[in-house]
Amino acid sequence: MCETCGCAEALNHAHPPHPEHDHPHAHPDHAHGDPFHGEHTHDGHTHTHPPSPARTVRVENDLLAVNHALAEANRRWLHHYRIHAINLISSPGSGKTLLLEKTLRRLQGRIPTAVIVGDLQTDLDAQRLQGLGARVKQIETVNACHLDAERVSQALPGVIDATTRLLFIENVGNLVCPAAFDLGESERVVLLSTPEGEDKPLKYPVPFVKASLVLVTKTDLTPHLTWKRDVCLDALRRVNPAASVLELSALTGDGMEGWIHHLERMVQKNG
């Protein structure tokens, strides 16, 4: 997983304290060096061997176990402050940032909201979301193709205040790795844009299986596409029959009221 996609760096970065405690995290199961390659010397020559499958699986499981523990700490912290946190997952270009722009405008003065934005490079998305009534924090993951619970824990104290009731976490655009990393969210929402086609839930089932809500976005483009609504909805039902589905266009506003109503209901339910 990590060696292939680049998130091996997550094993090597420092572990700062979580907002609810001030001691450092220790991870005795792995060393902070290169966990993938064993290097040794004999006969005057240095030999580097690729990781064995068993070693790779163990390192991946260790990484996910550490992330899970941190995610649970995030979840407790957010629950304590009665904050409903949404992890937004999608392919690049599905419309997450535009959706957030339009959502923040509608929620302004109604629900105190914060946003954490994840991208490999730049703070362009955070800039787009400034001035819309929400506190915004950009996380640049550099070469990791997803956010993780530790990065989110670092961002929480700087983006949450005493009034916050709703937190959006805009994950890095990717339908693979973000699905494996719990961030401590209350709800996982997956975006599926109409230009992506109807078969994405079948090709990339994991994020859809774990979603409580799927937003079919960019519905304003359907007159210009061969996209088939019934085929798409059938694919979603086959992968996750329990997930709710909302269809909308953030650009035109069609369907946005259903999304806003969902958010208001979730915040009210959270107390």
Alpha-carbon distance of 172 to 120, in angstroms, equals: 7
Phi-psi map region of 200: left, alpha, beta (phi>0 left; psi -120 to 50 alpha):
alpha
Q: Is residue 8 part of a domain?
A: no
Q: Is residue 39 part of a domain?
A: no
Alpha-carbon distance of 2 to 59, in angstroms, equals: 9
**DSSP code, position 53:** H
Alpha-carbon distance of 138 to 168, in angstroms, equals: 12
255 is in which domain, residue-wise? 68-269
Q: Is residue 51 part of a domain?
A: no
As averages over each run of 10 residues, the pLDDT of the chain (271 residues) reads 46 41 35 38 53 56 86 96 97 96 96 93 89 94 89 95 96 92 97 97 96 98 97 98 98 98 95 76
0.95 exceeded by pTM: no
Q: Give the pair of three-digit tokens for residue 93.
A: 């270009």
Alpha-carbon distance of 214 to 133, in angstroms, equals: 25
Q: Give the pair of three-digit tokens for residue 261.
A: 């109503």
Helices (H) and strands (E) in the chain, counts: 9, 9
One-letter amino acid of 213: L
Counted domains in the chain: 1
Q: Is residue 47 part of a domain?
A: no
Q: Is residue 10 part of a domain?
A: no
pLDDT at 123: 84
207: how many CB neighbours lie within 10 A of its CB?
29
Q: Is residue 63 part of a domain?
A: no
Q: Is residue 50 part of a domain?
A: no
Compute the half-sphere exposure of residue 172: CA atoms within 13 Å on the CB side of its CA. 26
pLDDT at 48: 53
Alpha-carbon distance of 203 to 182, in angstroms, equals: 21
Burial grade of 53 (CB within 10 A; 0-12, 13-18, 19 or more): exposed
pLDDT at 181: 94
Crossing angle of the two packed helices 53-80 and 149-159, in degrees rounded to 10: 20
- Which residue, 257, 266, 259, 260, is CA-closest to 245? 259
pLDDT at 86: 98
For residue 136, the domain's CATH number is: 3.40.50.300
Alpha-carbon distance of 170 to 97, in angstroms, equals: 8
